[in-house]
Amino acid sequence: MSNTPLERSIFRSAVQMLRSRYGFWITSPNNAYLNDLQDAKLDVLVSFMNHREFMTNRHLSGKPESGCTVLGFCDYLYATPKIYINRTHAKSTTVVHELLHFVTHDNFRKKVPSLLNEGVTEYFTRKIQTKFHPTDEMADFKDDRQSYPDEYRRVGTLRTMVKVVLRPEALEARKQPIEIGRQRHREFMPDPTRGANTRHFVKKAYFEGDMRLIDMMCDIW
């Protein structure tokens, strides 16, 4: 059975939520596929499938039989990568989660251990979910088994380590006022964080593929 009108609209609204929260950061060329979501284009991009059909397809795609791929997965094998959603078991956040995988920068996707990838993907999924549906009882992160709770927590720890433990000077440095008119002259007023500004580092790694930050995350993980 092809995508239903309801499934198409779920997909479109997930794209909207993703872009409204993180559109500014996304640099993956895959993002262009999300510009035109007319029915015909959308149906090439995403397939909602019944459980049996979905599992057969996942098997053919060689995906590991664990974790989030039970609910949905991204297939990067083709010129146009494709998203598959298990319509029998998908939760409200599954489409958002898979869309995040879809626009993850290649540098990040190919370099980091898969559980770090899942942890960060879950981290952004929850940010989006909390912003748009703060009280959604269907949210799949309430189902611990499917939602990488351990990896999610480790990403939180990783952020804290970078911000507070690894670069403690960054916190203090960020609080210092910048003298108006002097900050543009690097010789007189160098970067007040002394290169230690860790704001947005997860987004820079995940969406922009900043290798320095990706390596740092892999080291800490």
- Residue ranges in contact with Zn ion by CB under 5 A: 68, 118
The span from the CA of 111 to the CA of 9, in Å, is 33
Instruction: Decide whether 77 or 180 has the Cβ nearer to Zn ion.
Output: 77
Give min distance, CB of 181 to Zn ion, in A.
Answer: 47
Contact 121, 88 (CB under 8 A): no
Instruction: Decide whether 118 or 210 has the Cβ nearer to Zn ion.
Output: 118
Q: Which residue is nearest to Zn ion (CB)?
A: 68
Instruction: Decide whether 109 or 133 has the Cβ nearer to Zn ion.
Output: 109
Give min distance, CB of 133 to Zn ion, in A.
Answer: 19
Q: What does the longest C-alpha to C-alpha distance in the chain come to?
A: 66
Give min distance, CB of 145 to Zn ion, in A.
Answer: 14
Instruction: Decide whether 122 or 210 has the Cβ nearer to Zn ion.
Output: 122
Q: Please choose, from the candidates 117, 113, 93, the residue with its C-alpha nearest in 3D space to the C-alpha of residue 206.
A: 117
CA angle, 50 as apex, 134 and 89 as ends, to 5°?
Answer: 30
In the numeric block, the tokens 């403690």 are attached to 168
